[in-house]
Chains A and B, each alone.
Chain A
Amino acid sequence: MAKIKTYVRPMQGWWRRNPFFVRYMIREASSVFLAIYAVILLVGLARLTQGEAAWDAWRAALTSFGSLVFHWLALLTVGYHAYTWWKVAPKTAPDLRFAGRPLPELVITAGGWFATLGASALVYIIVRWM
């Protein structure tokens, strides 16, 4: 049977045609960094169960140039994910009302950003001083 030759619009590189889609793809790409980071933590946990020498070897590996580059890229992309997560929160969150009126979108988004800042400060304080 002859192959039917209908025109298929090429979609190669579709997201590069529009800055909105470029930002979308950066946000989606953050998940790859997040997954790898979760695996790095999981490996760290495994090394922790093997004793002090194994744990120190894991920590030493994290000082390598490749690891630092990865974590910088992960910080940038996952940070962008955090920024956009709260940006869309007014549209994804359930209907939040205050005194019978829907909460303004900016309040929800800014609340999320402040929650991230607060949680980050808390984590830093706990890791450093507690």
Chain B
Amino acid sequence: MKRSNEPIFWSLFGAGGVLSALVAPILILITGIIAPIGVWMPPQALDYPRVLAFAQNGFGKLLLLAVISLFLFHAVHRIYHGLHDVGMHVGTGTMVAAYGSALLGTLVAAYLLLVIGF
């Protein structure tokens, strides 16, 4: 019997689910709402030197990669399985496109975190 690839994607889905349940709402609130409108968060908080220093720090790099990559893997897993619910019966091609795009996003993020320096 062919071994299922589901455990790998389920693990990534689960890890992304936990991480997004913990920090996604506050991150969306900060970067998307309160920092842009300047309420409860001074604009200087996301100034270039500060965010750059965070992205050049090893721990900061790890957090950024985890957030982008695991959010993507969590989301594509749900979207892929949710397609059935909206009446789309999909095959291997869609599966490769779904998880492939999450992998691509991960690789791009890793590349950017490398070229941004240390």
Contact = CB atoms under 8 A, between A and B. Distances in A.
Bound together: yes
A56 B109 CA distance: 19
Nearest to B112: A45
Chain B facing A: main interface SS: helix
Given A48-B51, A128-B45, A78 B109 contact: no
Interface in B27-79: 27-33, 35-37, 41-42, 45-46, 48, 51-52, 55, 64, 67-68, 71-72, 74-79
Contacts, number: 151
Interface of A: 11-12, 15, 25, 28, 30-32, 34-35, 37-42, 44-46, 48-49, 52, 55-56, 59, 62-63, 67-68, 70-72, 74-75, 78-79, 81-82, 85-86, 92, 112, 115-116, 119-120, 123-124, 127-128
Interface of B: 14, 17-18, 20-33, 35-37, 41-42, 45-46, 48, 51-52, 55, 64, 67-68, 71-72, 74-79, 82, 85, 87, 105, 108-109, 112-113, 115-116
B41 A128 contact: yes
A112 B48 contact: no
A31 B75 CA distance: 4
B28 A45 contact: no
20 contacts: A28-B82, A31-B78, A38-B68, A38-B72, A39-B72, A41-B64, A45-B113, A62-B31, A71-B28, A71-B32, A72-B33, A74-B28, A78-B24, A82-B24, A86-B21, A92-B14, A116-B21, A120-B23, A120-B25, A123-B30
